[in-house]
Chain A
Amino acid sequence: MVGRAASRPYAGSVLTIDRATYDAIVAHAKRDHPDEACGIVAGPEGSDRPERLVEMVNAAGSPTFYEFDSTELLELYKEMWDRDEEPVVVYHSHTATEAYPSRTDIGLASEPGAHYVLVSTREHGNNEGPVEFRSYRIVDGEVTEEEVTVVDGLSTSN
C-alpha cells in the first residue's frame, strides 16, 4: 500500500508523486521485465516536484544491472539544464529481488538530492498485479527509506 499518511513509518522525507507518473513507472518496469527498467522524473530545480517522466534505455540490457547509455545521459542532462530542471526521481527495477537498493546501487548513487525509487517485479513479472514501489535517499553511502504519497495531481502551490 502507498500513502500511509496516518502513520509516518519513516523518519526521512516524503516522495509525493502523481498517479499517472507512478503508474507509468510501474508499467515500464513490467514491460521490461525480466530486464531491469530505468529512468528519471525531472522537475524544476529546487522544487522537489517530479513532473516529467523520461524512460531511459537500459544500455546494460540485464536482469541484474542497469546503466544509462553515456550519449543519452548527456542529452538528458543538457535538456534538463536548458529547462532549469534536475532529476527529482531516479528509478529502476529489481526483477528477482526486493525493492531495496543493492550494494551497487548505493555505491553508484550520485544524485544526493534525488529520490531513488525502486520497483520490484519479482512477484508478477510482466503480468497484472501489485508491485513493490519504494523510495529512498542515498547520500554518502547511507540509505534512508522515505514515505511514498501518491496524489491525483501535483498541486500548484508547493
Chain B
Amino acid sequence: MAIEVRIPTILRTYTGGEKAVSADGASLSALIDDLEANHPGIRERLIENGDLRRFVNVYVNDEDVRFIGGLEAELSDGDQVVVLPAVAGG
C-alpha cells in the first residue's frame, strides 16, 4: 500500500527537502504515525492535543479531511494526500 503525501515547503526540513513522500496507513491517523516513523518530528507539526492543528489543512483526493472524518478519514492504496498550512493571520 502506497499513498503519496505532498509536503509543504515549511515541513520539508523533516523530509530531507523532498516535496512528496510515500507512506502507508488505513486512516489518516495511521498515515501520520508512519510518516513520523520515517520523518521524526513531523507529527507534532500536524497534530496538537490529539487532533489536527487548526491551521494545518490536510486533503485526501482534494477533499479537506475535516469533512471526511478528520484523523479517522479512511485511506486506500493510491490515494493522494496533500498537507498545506493555512494562509491566515490577524
Residues of A at under 8 Å CB distance from B?
38, 40, 56, 60, 64-68, 70-71, 73-74, 77, 86, 90, 92, 101-105, 108-113
Contact of A73 among B9, B66, B84 (CB under 8 A): B84
Establish whether residues A110 and B90, one from each chain, have CB atoms under 8 Å apart when the complex forms: no
Complex contacts, B57 vs chain A, CB 8 Å = 70, 73-74
B82 CB-CB contact with A under 8 Å? yes
B87 and A67 within 8 A (CB): yes
Partner of B64, one of A70, A92, A113: A70
* Nearest residue, chain A, Cβ from B66: A70
Pick the contact of B89: A40, A104, A113 (CB < 8 A).
A104
Q: Which residues of B contact A (CB under 8 A)?
A: 8-10, 55, 57, 59, 62, 64, 66, 82, 84-90
> From DSSP, what is the main secondary structure of chain A's interface residues?
mixed
| CA of A111 to CA of B55, assembled, Å | 13
Q: Told that A74-B59, A90-B87, A110-B86 touch, could you supply 16 new A-B pairs with CB distance under 8 A? A: A64-B90, A65-B88, A66-B89, A67-B88, A68-B87, A70-B64, A71-B64, A73-B84, A73-B86, A74-B57, A74-B82, A74-B84, A110-B8, A110-B87, A111-B9, A112-B9
Q: Which residues of B contact A86 (CB under 8 A)?
A: 9
Q: How far is the CB of A17 from chain B (nearest CB, A)?
A: 19
